[in-house]
Structure 1
Amino acid sequence: MVRRVDVTEISEKEYWIESPGGRLFAESWTPRDPASNTPLILFHDSLGCIALWRQFPQLLAATLNRRVIAYDRLGFGRSDRRADILSRDFIAVEAAQYLPLLCEKLAIADFIACGHSVGGGMAIWAGARFPVQCKAVISIAAQAFVEDRTLAGIRVAEKEFELPENMNRLAKYHGDKAEWVLHAWIDTWLAPAFSDWNLDAALQSLRCPQLTIHGEHDEFGSVAHPRRIAGTHGECRILQGIGHTPHKECPELLVEVIERWLSSADVAFAKAADDR
């Protein structure tokens, strides 16, 4: 178990990263004397951004005594706008195209990838795409394939966003990009061309230690997702009574699960490095 750090000892820093499509906004939370030089990188969900992680990054940094980094994907949060339609392979593209820019700007040699929902898929692809740099993958409420339950949850949300107050809440975090953010999620997942999408190729390539966390009552995916993601070599943790957003519903428990797993996975990290 690592030494817990008071949150007042965490320093926050903002970054702007140039990309071919526009600037990305990133933020880091760094303990005064981190126990490891390997940071944890957060990938947000389909409607998310740094601000919507709330206090989770700071809590992670303090509990793990490790640097935590999050960024707003292009088109989200404080990053620049985009007007294009997401490609069918946008989850894999995020890891391949934008993660290297983040690592270069922040001088990251290796990392732990952690993502929520679609960001969990991006974290898995980060591990598959960068097997040397990525020391571990943690997915939270990630989707492994397109499930009827996922599509049903999106259709319910689509109706809810017809209410102006819900769009106003989205605009609070994404500004005038909110409409694009919403349709990038709904239109992509409900498109017929996306119906057979899955994470199988990334999961088959993944070699580092892997933890998948899922809420028992996740409205966007059944427990078939974490079981498929964990497969035969990953660890699966189902959080009883929890829905799709553990970082909001039970942040302390989520951090505790991550902390315990990372502590127990130290030997596995070393073995994975030796196997390479």
Structure 2
Amino acid sequence: MTHREFIEIAGARLEYQLLQPQGSTGPTLVLLHEGLGSLELWKDFPTQLAEYCGSPVLIYSRQGYGRSSPVRLPRALDYLSVAGPDELGRVLDSLALGQVVLLGHSDGASIALAYAARRDPRVSGVVVLAPHVDVEQASVEGVRRTVNAYARGDLRERLRAYHGENLDGAFRGWSETWLHPAFAKWNLHQALPCIQVPLLAIQGRDDEFATPAQLQTIACEVGGNCQTVLLDDCRHFPQNQARDRVLTLVAGFMAKLPR
């Protein structure tokens, strides 16, 4: 079982884990999970990341996920660009972290980008895996396929082990947001030019929830130095499906940041 601790933030109890390998230095990597993710669903990636980069790593489950407090539904349609970043800022404050590098996957990548646009001086850089900066038809179709799998019961039972009593709230909070007709207008186009710190954006060429247009938009609109990488033979989970390549890319990115 994953060792976890809890912090109280704005009336919510969030589970977290802070990995500090012996001799680790530099900014703390803060991991932001995807729309159906949690602390435990990162599995062994955080441990490998900490060892590979020689950096501390913080993982937490957002409210409504994992063993964190439940969240009231429906979620606001601007959750990825407002409530999620607000919560992240409170986590950084509560744990009194110094310099950090945000590493987000999918919905967590959107939160990382939105927070970086706020120009918190603690943020030294950003890494995003399978990011979303606007709503594509591929994303909506991917969510619909996932809803069908959940209704059949197989996905539901796999996720139950990670979310417990938060299971239905986590799934509905994600799927009902992405499938809401008004959510089609959500985007980060105004936020991207505000990001001035170094950025690494990674996506699988066969991502079933987005097209390479996401990387192209980031490269064109972000305000600071940006590297984009499109990985062959990889779908929506680069940290699992192309792990060695991702670890190498992130370690190289971290090594170039000012110390």
TM-score range, shorter chain: over 0.9
Question: Would you say the 8 A contact 1:213–1:236 is kept in 2?
Answer: yes
Q: Matched residue of 1:91: which SS?
A: coil
TM-score by length of 1: 0.88
109, 113, 122: which is aligned to 2:102? 113
Distance 2:104 2:83 in 1: 12
Residue 149 of structure 1 is matched in structure 2 by 138
- Which deviations, in whole Å up to 9, do the C-alpha atoms of 1:219-258 show, x marking residues without a partner? 0000000111122641100111100011121222211111
- Runs of 5+ unmatched residues, structure 1: 1-11, 271-276
Q: CA offset at residue 118 of structure 1? A: 0.6
Question: Would you say the 8 A contact 2:39–2:61 is kept in 1?
Answer: yes
Query: Are 2:19 and 1:29 aligned?
Result: yes
Letter in 2 for 1:254: V
TM-score by length of 2: 0.93
Residue 196 of structure 1 is matched in structure 2 by 185
- Which deviations, in whole Å up to 9, do the C-alpha atoms of 1:163-182 show, x marking residues without a partner? 12321111111012111111
Distance 2:12 2:173 in 1: 17
Sequence identity percentage: 28
Distance 2:73 2:149 in 1: 24
Question: Would you say the 8 A contact 1:21–1:74 is kept in 2?
Answer: no
Distance 2:237 2:184 in 1: 24
Distance 1:86 1:39 in 2: 29
Q: CA offset at residue 18 of structure 1? A: 1.0
Question: Would you say the 8 A contact 1:114–1:139 is kept in 2?
Answer: yes
Q: Matched residue of 2:51: which SS?
A: helix
- Which deviations, in whole Å up to 9, do the C-alpha atoms of 1:152-204 show, x marking residues without a partner? 11111111111123211111110121111111111101111111111112202
Question: Would you say the 8 A contact 1:131–1:207 is kept in 2?
Answer: no
Mapping 1:1-276, distance limit 5 Å: 14-36=4-26, 38-231=27-220, 233-263=225-255, 265-266=256-257, 269=258
Larger mean Cα displacement after TM superposition, 61-70 or 180-189 = 180-189
Larger mean Cα displacement after TM superposition, 129-138 or 69-78 = 129-138
- Which deviations, in whole Å up to 9, do the C-alpha atoms of 1:62-91 show, x marking residues without a partner? 011000001000010010112221112111
Question: Would you say the 8 A contact 2:119–2:194 is kept in 1?
Answer: no
- Which deviations, in whole Å up to 9, do the C-alpha atoms of 1:88-141 show, x marking residues without a partner? 211122454212321223220221111000100111112112341111011100
> Would the alpha carbon gap of residues 229 and 89 (structure 1) be closer, same or farther in structure 2, given more than 3 Å must change?
same
- Runs of 5+ unmatched residues, structure 2: none
Distance 2:145 2:4 in 1: 35
Question: Would you say the 8 A contact 1:41–1:68 is kept in 2?
Answer: yes
Q: CA offset at residue 143 of structure 1? A: 0.9
